Amino acid sequence: MDCCRRANPFLLCSSLKVLGYAMVFLVAAIAAASYYAVVIVAWGPRLFSGGLVSVLAFAIVIVFHILLALIIWTYLMVLFRDPGSVPENWRSNVEEGSPGNASSTTFASYVAIETGDPALPTSNELERRPAIRYCTRCQNNKPPRCHHCSICERCVLKMDHHCVWVVNCVGARNYKFFLLFLLYTFLETVLDTLALLPHFVQFFGDARRHSVSPGNLAITFLAFVLNLAFALSLLCFLVMHTSLVLSNTTSIEVYEKKKRVPWKYDVGRRRNFEQVFGTKKLLWFLPLFSADDLENLPALQGLDFPTRSDVEV
């Protein structure tokens, strides 16, 4: 029985780390194939054709490179940015500020109320303070909206999900970068699909006439199909995450939100949006935060979140 209790079935998920590194190479391969098909084969040679064709080719190539640079930038930020870890021996502000040596109060004192020990806080006192959660794996308190990732083997602040495409968790401190990565990748795949559509239509005629090398035909066909598939799937993800951002909900909290109406973290669409993207409009579409936002918006740090005044915490 002891060995069964010590067994952790989530250790099987550690194989997702290896899969994640494979995904990094897959992303690079898809980007390389798209670059070759759009720039080298389809529109690069038309830059010097003259007339409107050259103007259109120039516009496509420039926009392609701008979006590609933004994709790489946001992807690296999601890949290498820590989503947020719980500080060692973390205590909530409420816990530290409560009377009577509350700073030394342990998690056991909050859950042991059921034992009837008179030295412990009363039920009324517990109702007025937020529940302090505890992670038995990390041996540490858990801030609000924090969850333990069995793949990363640690607690992640405002965890949304573990993304195998970036070999990292998506949490409070890199959620904006992840959303921008989705946005720019979607725009790039739409651009690639539209740019390759005429060549895809000509694909079968060129194949019969053997007017284009088989390698170029194959790469053009593959790039078109992959970009179309990714554009459609990314559109679904963008719609879903836009809804989550505007309601101040994570993917993990969706089920919990259904049980709590109204949702206590929903403080209005504008403030919900700013808790992810910051208040500086010039930085909304860049993977950056202003120093003022990092200092004045606790939600960006992932340890404290404003709640609705009409909802009991």
Cβ density class 151-172: b for 16+ within 10 Å, e for less: bbebbbbbbbebbbbbbbbbbb
Written as six digits, the tokens of 154 are 């640690």
Contacts of 244 (CB under 8 A, 6+ apart): 160, 250, 251, 254
Is 163 one of the annotated active-site residues of the chain? yes
Which position among 3, 163, 169, 236 bears the catalytic label? 163
Contacts of 74 (CB under 8 A, 6+ apart): 177, 178, 180, 181, 184, 287
- Among residues 158, 161, 187, the alpha carbon closest in space to that of 276 is found at 158
Measured distance CA(155)–CA(142) in Å, rounded: 8
Measured distance CA(167)–CA(81) in Å, rounded: 11
308 phi and psi, to 5 degrees? -70, 140
Residues with a known catalytic role: 163
